[in-house]
Amino acid sequence: MRAPARGMAIALIATAVCASAARSSLIVAPDVSVRDGGMGGNVVATPTDGASTLLVNPAGVTRMRGTRLEDSIFLLFTSGRYSNAAIGYDTKSSELPVAPTLWIGTDKWRPWFFGFGLYGTAGASFNFPGNPATGIPNRFLSEFTVIQAGFVAGVHLTETLRLGAQVAPTYGAIKVRTGSPLGPVRYDIDGIGVNGVVGLLWEATRTTTFGLSWRSPTVIPMSGDGDVGDADEEVEIDFHTPQLVTFGLAHRLTPKLTVSLQARWSDYPEFEKGEFEFQNFPMLNQPFVSGARSTFRYGAGLEYAVAPWADLWLGVSREEWMIEEKSLSPLLYDTTDVLIGFGTGISRGRWTIRLVGGVASVEDRVATADSNPRFPGRYQLEGGVAGLGIRYLFSP
């Protein structure tokens, strides 16, 4: 084993063994539904469907009319690449996370509005193959899944001010496969926590609405079985996810055209509070993220009513990286991205069908040997999204 490769493998004990797909675009997705994706995720002031009510602003439940069922599937095409010229290691990871959303909402008990939904992402991962020629015999696989069940209630506080709240039991799972000088390392852990969201909508004028939401930090106690070499192992972590504050406005420029502006603050240093703990190999204990910073995602969206039965959406958002350069590894990195979404919705009778697509422009990151002696090199990401949604109105 060449010296640089040996150093890289030893570093896996302290870092990559404990890694998962923590990049902000997967764990804290800007959007994982159809209309939201078409608007670039900028819907805090225009939560007009179940997905935006669940994902962004629970006050959107107060805009429901009748009883409706919504279902959508959102595909995230992701491709990562890590190259380290010093050891000749250059690999790619192409994955397809899936984000399903199911919602049922009603205004049957007005002035109270209620809804329930399931949402989240599954299969968000990095999966880099091994390369024995560089001294790395095993693949690097880290996979993250989070599914939430949202119970939502909302009410009109005044004619122009609406309040919504969501309680969301949350299931999380982490899967890791990698190598180390102690032999192959494998573990599968999962657990359940509880998340909360509060949102407001204020109709300042007939044409301007302000939106605000706060998603609480979450702690998900996870545990499960694993192996280190030929030895059985127990792994656990109190997994912390960040609190989010989202605010923005929507202004109707014309009877057919609405523009939305939005910013979301994410408290990513919360990730640092979670530490993987190995029962028999405590030298492997490591924070989920050892260095992170809070960031803002800024964006704007357009919604145009082509006809009473057809809408068009266009949106863009940008967020800078959140993981410090010193903490980057082949299984744990993120980048600065610009996301562009577009889509359409067509209604006929009680049915509505929605389609969405999107692309990402991502900046490469380069870690120097001085700042990151364990994993220097170039980190790249690219990807896009596609989705299909269906809504059925039970009662007008």
* pLDDT score recorded for residue 256: 96
388 alpha carbon, distance to own chain's centre: 18
Banded model confidence at residue 22, pLDDT cuts 50, 70, 90: very low
Enumerate residues 6+ apart whose C-beta is below 8 A from 323: 22, 23, 268, 289, 291, 292, 332, 333, 334
What's residue 17's pLDDT?
Answer: 38
Q: Could you tell me how many residues make up the chain?
A: 396
Q: What is the pLDDT of residue 180?
A: 72
| Higher per-residue confidence, 43 vs 32 | 43
Q: What is the pLDDT of residues 137-169, one digit of tens each?
A: 888 888 888 899 999 999 999 999 999 999 999
Mean pLDDT score of the chain? 88
- Taking alpha carbons only, the member of 128, 148, 151, 150 closest to residue 139 is 128
What would the mean pLDDT of 109-118 be, rounded to a whole number? 95
Which are the contacts of 274, defined by CB distance < 8 A and separation ≥ 6? 237, 238, 239, 240, 287, 288, 289
pLDDT of residue 31: 60
Instruction: Report the pLDDT averaged over residues 116-123.
Output: 89
User: Which range among 161-165, 183-187, 326-330 has the greatest average pLDDT?
Assistant: 161-165
Output phi, psi for 268, to 5 deg. Answer: -60, -25
Q: Residue 191 has what pLDDT?
A: 97
Question: Mean pLDDT over residues 179-201, rounded?
Answer: 91
> Is pLDDT at 2 greater than 60 in this prediction?
no
- Rounded to two decimals, the pTM is 0.89
Tell me what the mean pLDDT of segment 15-40 comes to: 57
Can you name the residues that pair with 41 across neighbouring β-strands? none
Check the CA dihedral 167-210-29-215 and report its sign.
negative
pLDDT for the residue 21: 34
Beta bridge partners of 94: 79
Residue 374 has pLDDT above 80, yes or no: yes
Which tens digit of pLDDT belongs to each residue from 202-260? 999 999 999 999 999 999 999 999 999 899 999 999 999 899 999 999 999 999 999 99
pLDDT at 75: 85
Q: Given a cut of 70, is residue 86 above it in pLDDT?
A: yes
pLDDT category of residue 283 using cuts at 50, 70 and 90: confident
End-to-end CA distance of the chain: 69
301 contacts 43 by C-beta, under 8 angstroms: yes
pLDDT class of 7 with cuts at 50, 70, 90: very low
pLDDT of residue 182: 80
As given in the structure block, the two tokens for residue 115 are 């809804």
Share of the chain above pLDDT 90, in %: 66
> Quick one: pLDDT at residue 14?
33
pLDDT digits (tens, 9 = 90+) for 268-277: 999 999 999 9
Confidence band (pLDDT; 50, 70, 90) for 321? very high
Residue 127 CB neighbours (<10 A): 19
Of 79, 81, 40, nearest to 338 by C-alpha is 40
Give the mean pLDDT of 28-42: 77
Residue 300 has pLDDT above 90, yes or no: yes
Question: In three state form, how does the secondary structure of the chain look?
Answer: CCHHHHHHHHHHHHCHHHCCCCCHHHHCCCCCCHHHHHCCCCCCCCCCCHHHHHHCCHHHHHHCCCEEEEEEEEEEEEEEEEEECCCCEEEEEEECCEEEEEEEEECCCCCEEEEEEEEEEEEEEEEECCEHHHCECCCEEEEEEEEEEEEEEEEECCCCEEEEEEEEEEEEEEEEEECCCCCCEEEEEEEEEEEEEEEEEEECCCCEEEEEEEECCEEEEEEEEEEECCEEEEEEEEEEECCEEEEEEEEECCCCEEEEEEEEEECHHHHHHCEEEECCCHHHCEECCCCECCEEEEEEEEEEEEECCEEEEEEEEEECCCECHHHCECCECCCCEEEEEEEEEEEECCEEEEEEEEEEEECCEEECCCCCCCCCEEEEEEEEEEEEEEEEEEEC
